[in-house]
Each structure stands twice: as C-alpha cells, then as structure tokens.
Amino acid sequence: MALINLKFASEVLGMQTEINVIVPQKSTKGQIGMSGQANGEKYKTLLLLHGLSDDYSTWLRRSSIERYATENGIAVIMPSAERSLYTDMKYGENFYTYISEEVPRIAREFLPLSDKREDNFIAGLSMGGYGALKIALKHPERYEAAAGISSVADVQDFINVHAPKVGMLCFGEDMKVPESEDLFWLAEQCNISEIKPRIMMIEGTRDFLLDGNRRLKEKFESLDYDYTYMEVPGAHSWLFWDTHIQGVLKWMLGK
C-alpha cells in the first residue's frame, strides 16, 4: 500500500490544500504481517470524511485504516473540511463543493482511481457521517454505497443543542438549516431517483447522537432503500469508529 500526501492548489477554496490518499499496491511480498488484494488498472475508492474536531490526518492517526484498506484492496481519499458541516458556508469556504466535486476530480487526475459508480463509496464519522450521507443522497449517480458511523443525523438539532457557532457560520445568524442540507428531506428526494445508493448507519447505544440516528432510521425504513442499520454497544469514540469502519468496508465491497 502506498500512502500519498497530495498537496495541490484548490480553485474552489482559493488556496493551497492537501489530502491523504491510500493507494493499493499489487504486490505486498516482503511486508511482514500484511496482505493485499489489489487488482485492476484503476482502483475502487472510498472517500472517507472526518468529524467536527478533526482534519485530513485523523483517520490515519487514530485508526488502522491503512491496514484495513490494504486487506480489502481499496483506495481511500481523506480530505479536510474544517468545521464546515460539509457545506458551502454562509461565512466561510465552499467546503461542500470542494469535497464533493474538486477532491475526487483532483485525486483521479493524479492517481489510478476508478470513476465508475460501482467502484466509488463514501463514509464518515460524526460530522463526516452527515457529510457522507448528504453527498451520496445528492449525487446517487456517483456513489454505489454510503455509510455513516455515529452520524450527525439531525443537523438542525445538533447545531441548536451542541454547536450554535458552527450553525451560524454554516447557515447564517438564524441557524436555519435549508431543506437541501437536511438528511430527512434529502432521503425523500433521492427516493424518487431511478438509482439510489445503498445506505448503512452504525450507532452506539451510549452515543449522544443516538436519538437523531433513530429518527433518521425511521425515515429510511419508510422509504425504498437498500438500508442497513446497526445499533451496538459503544460511545462516540475512536475505539468504536476503528472497530466499525472494518465492517463498513466489507459491507461496501460485498464481503
């Protein structure tokens, strides 16, 4: 597996930025304790999103995502979106456009990553779970599957209770979340699409976001999705996320 730190000029953000990318290596001979499954000329790819307090480096620093990606032969793109809720912010940068449009395009420009829908997946934790589900529901033609772990499922409730400053910077002084940024509304809109991403949500029974995830679960179950929900013991922690990203990868790849 190759770990690449890709620095580039972002036209969307108007500045230099960087992403981390894990890329499969066809031969892992000589790598003690590692095995790989890389094949093909262009690789299946997971766009993996971070939480509110994190950045592009945190999945690498606090989980074993590189080892899990190696075992599954999948590339992983990890960008930064600061504290943006993966939105084009009212008072800030256009992080939704950056993450959903520019990052995949730039990564494919430099690296052998497939642009086929069936080869592309998106996932994240907490704020990143919200971002992953939102991007997939807005662009079902791009992603075969999306997963949220400990997701900010009800973003309006989240900013009202936990992050009013973030809500103001993202949506304005009234902190009113537009329908186009609400997962409940987006689930209904995407439901009428001819193609829909498979959806997985995993939530811990001791997570402070549990109620919102249960409400979003009810919404998805009332609609016509290939939908998987897991509620398991655990809290809002890296022990939980490192454990369950392994299951997410196997679910995405049909293993």
Alpha-carbon span 152 to 59, nearest angstrom: 18
Alpha-carbon span 47 to 76, nearest angstrom: 6
Give me the domain span that covers residue 108. 2-27+35-252
Q: How would you class 96 by CB atoms within 10 Å of its CB: exposed for 0-12, middle for 13-18, buried for 19 or more?
A: buried
Number of domains into which the chain is organized:
1
Give the distance between the most distant pair of CA atoms in the chain. 58
Alpha-carbon span 107 to 13, nearest angstrom: 16
How, if at all, do strands 75-78 and 120-125 pair? unpaired
Coil vs helix vs strand at 242: helix
For residue 144, the domain's CATH number is: 3.40.50.1820
pLDDT at site 28 = 63
pLDDT at site 100 = 98
The residue count of the chain comes to 255
Tens-digit pLDDT profile for the chain (255 aa)?
899 999 999 999 999 999 999 999 876 665 655 556 666 689 999 999 999 999 999 999 999 999 999 999 999 999 999 999 999 999 999 999 999 999 999 999 999 999 999 999 999 999 999 999 999 999 999 999 999 999 999 999 999 999 999 999 999 999 999 999 999 999 999 999 999 999 999 999 999 999 999 999 999 999 999 999 999 999 999 999 999 999 999 999 998
Cβ contact 6:21 at 8 Å: yes
Alpha-carbon span 150 to 208, nearest angstrom: 9
pTM: 0.95
Close Cβ partners of 30 (under 8 Å, ≥ 6 residues apart): none
pLDDT at site 37 = 60
Residue holding tokens 């036209």? 11
